[in-house]
Amino acid sequence: MNLNLHYDALRKWYLFANTPLYLYKHFREEQSVQVLASTYSSSQLIKSFSGVAAQGLNNIDDLIRLYAIIFALTFKDYSDVRSFFENLAEYPLKWSSEIRNIYLNSFRPVNMFAIDKKNKVSVVDKILSSNPSTNISFKIKHK
């Protein structure tokens, strides 16, 4: 998988990072990470992460690739990457458990409701939202 990352910019953010939140913010803002997220599926990114991690970290660019993949996955649908982030702390990366917590704690439970033809409202599913506002959105399913 050709990641086409802006290694110079990402190296700079990694080397200047003094907190996991700083790293999280700047890697997510980096355009090449956003392109990575929009180009590849969650499963492709997770497979690539596992491949790079299995080969070992031989240089800083290997480390940058792993972090870029992690942060690209933060743009993906929560249900597709939840398991990945729940297990991220198992990898011996600096701040892996903190990054895991930042990601997992940025989602809030939201109830999804269904309204039937008789206007009866029922809870259909509990979904997660990364929007910290109190806005509620509804999906109406016709049965």
pTM for the predicted model, two decimal places: 0.74
pLDDT tens by residue, 6-49: 899 999 999 999 999 999 999 999 999 999 999 999 999 999 99
Q: How far is CA 106 from CA 52, 81, 103, 116, in A?
A: 27, 14, 5, 32
Calculate ∠ Cα 62-96-60, nearest 5°: 20
CA 114 vs CA 49, 105, 120, 121: distances in Å: 38, 27, 8, 6
- Between 89 and 26, the higher pLDDT residue: 26
Distance CA 111, CA 123 (A): 6
The answer to whether 113 and 122 have CB atoms below 8 angstroms apart is yes
Q: Where are the domains of the chain?
A: 7-105, 107-143
77-80-86 Cα angle (round to 5): 105
